Structures are given as C-alpha cells and as structure tokens.
A = this chain, B = another copy of it.
Amino acid sequence: MPQLRKDPVTGRWIIVETEKPLGKEALKSHPHEKSSKTCPFCPGNESMTPPEIASYPAKGAAKDRGPWQVRVVPNKFPALRIEESTEKAAIGIYDKVGGFGAHEVIVENPGHGTEISDASAEEVELLLRVYRDRCLDLQKDRRFKYILIFKNYGAAAGASLEHPHSQLIALPVVPSRVQGEVKGSAEHFAYTDRCIFCDMLDQEYRSRKLTVFDGGDFLAMAPFASRLPFETWILPKSHESSYSLVSDDRLKSLAVTVKTTFLKIKKALNDPPFNFMIHTLPPHVKEEHSFHWHLEIIPHLTEVSGFELGTGFYLNVTPPELAAETLRNEPV
C-alpha cells in the first residue's frame, strides 16, 4: 500500500512505493566508461590547472615537501568569479546580481582511481579537514552568503573529469533548499525549543529502522521522506550548526563514517554515480540552536523527471527502511 510522507524539516511531501518496491538488484548501476585522455589532476600534470590555491602533503610528510596529497585549484571554467561585481540591480520587476563568487576544485587524492571509498581513513580525514579549512578561509569575506561543498561522481551525476575531485562554490546568496531547511528548523525550534535534526536522531536511536551506519560521533541514516532511492544523510550526533565547527578530534570519526558509508553504497549498488553536498548554517546567520549541519548523499539510480523538478513532488520506488536495511547489512 503506497504511502505519503512529509519531510519534517521542509514540509515537502513524497510518495513511497511500498507495494512493489525496487531493491538493489533492480537499481544496480552499469560500469562507468573510462576516459583515455591525459588527466589534468594527476601528479606531474599540475601545469594543466590554474595556479593552486592550497596544497597539502600526506600526513607525516613535512609541509611543502614531497608530493601533495590534496590540492585545491580554481575551477578552469568557473560558474562565478571573485573579480566580478556584487552589484544588485533590478530589471523592472526582476532582480539580478553580478557573477561574483568563487569556484574551486579540490583534487581529493593523487591516485587517479582512489575515490573516498578506496582511500585510507587518514586520507579521508585530511580531505574533510581541507573542506573545513576552505570554509573557514572563505567565510572571512562577508560578501559570501553561503559556501557550498559538493561532489559529482560519474558522468550521469554531472562529473566531467574522472579523477577524484570535489568542488566548492562560494555564493553571494543562499541556495533555496538550504534556506528552506534553515527556516523550517527555526520554526520547529520556536515551537518546541528543540532542534528538529536532534529529534530525528533521538527517534532513530530508539527505532533503528533508518540507520545505515553508526559511527560513534556521527550517524549515517536514510531520511524518513527520502526523495530518491538510497538517499543517505550523515549527521553529527551532538548538536552542531556549522561544518566549520567540527573539531580536529571528531574529523577522525567523521572520516570513518564517510568512508564506510560510501563503501557500502559502492558495494551494494555497483559503484553508482552520485552527488553529495554539505548543508551547513550560512555564515553570519544566527540560528545556531535550531540548525544542524549534515552531509547529503544522493545516488543517481533512476531518472529525475522534469515532473518531479517542476512540482517538488517525488515518487520514491525504494522505501527508505529497505534502502537503510540493505546498506546496513552490506559487509565492508
């Protein structure tokens, strides 16, 4: 019997297919095609990218000595540029802003095929620290209203290069989904004096139906009203509003949770294309008590139709409880 479910943060409804749900066998990915072009992100080809913003040596190696482990470079084809104007203007009833912003590429690993799921926990920890450092650096500039860390993996998810890389876009506005979450969670807080994400976690500790992986300080879980099959969120168990606040100590634990979750998705679904993005409290916004940062992973297993895009109404063929159980039981 089909069921409608409401996302407790944003109020968005979805339909969950419970009668003929599709499991991992029906949704498994096909192998990716490999490119034979020279890779601009491989060690030795550093001159193919714009001059680097930052470079991190492998753990234990001296700073600026030996080969890099993570490298941050400007995007060669940026969506926004730091030298553009922040001028706001009206075109009659419409509003526009100059293309001011920043667009960086984070080369995750020197290994061309070493994705997050294959990297060592220490390598993933360094990558997660680089994300945090870039956020801390860029949010000093108060013209940036949001700093978005995301990754497209696989051509079907929008990646144009194979080499493991994430992206950062610093924006002069807040993306609407993040805005909606900040607003929805602030309303819940005004009403209950509680964080809605903490409430979700509390309920999950009791039911354990949506848990993908319990990583100690962090929990990977399927959201109750997940839009797409195998959508997975990673949340800090203690209330924390911004990704830039994660302590060095807890980055270790986050690295294990992230690596394990990605590996489970890779193994269960045959290395599917996916996107992930960090939802964090926009800098200089005072909702520290109500907002709770999290990382969203969206595997690309079914077509997103324009219908879903145009209505915000999703039909999810895999109940999140089934997705969570599948991933929870996947040995890694």
Q: Which residues of A contact B (CB under 8 A)?
A: 1-6, 8, 10-13, 15, 17-18, 20, 77-81, 84, 91-99, 148, 150, 152, 156-158, 171-173, 175-180, 196, 199-200, 203, 206-207, 224-225, 227-228, 274-277, 279, 296, 298-300, 303-307, 309-313, 315
Contacts and interface: CB of A to CB of B under 8 A. Distances in A.
Nearest to A1: B99
A79 B16 CA distance: 8
Contact of A93 (B8, B98, B276, B303): B8
Nearest to A148: B311
A148 B305 contact: no
Contacts of A310: 150, 177, 275, 277, 279, 296, 298
A171 to B, nearest CB: 8
A96 B305 contact: no
Contacts of A15: 79-80, 99
A306 B313 contact: no
A83 to B, nearest CB: 10
B1 A275 contact: no
A304 B304 contact: yes
Contact of A312 (B4, B176, B296): B176
A93 B196 contact: yes
24 contacts: A2-B80, A3-B99, A4-B173, A5-B94, A6-B95, A11-B176, A15-B99, A17-B79, A79-B315, A92-B206, A92-B207, A93-B196, A94-B203, A94-B224, A148-B311, A150-B310, A152-B307, A171-B313, A177-B310, A179-B312, A228-B306, A275-B305, A298-B306, A298-B310
Given A4-B173, A180-B312, A305 B152 contact: yes
Q: How many copies does the complex hold?
A: 2
Given A13-B175, A311-B177, A4 B93 contact: no
A199 B298 contact: no
A296 B84 CA distance: 32
B178 A2 contact: no
Given A5-B97, A92-B206, A93-B196, 5 more contacts: A2-B99, A4-B80, A5-B94, A11-B176, A299-B306
Nearest to A13: B173
Contacts of A199: 93
Contact of A3 (B98, B206, B299): B98
Contact of A96 (B6, B180, B276, B300): B6
B275 A79 contact: no
A5 B176 CA distance: 13
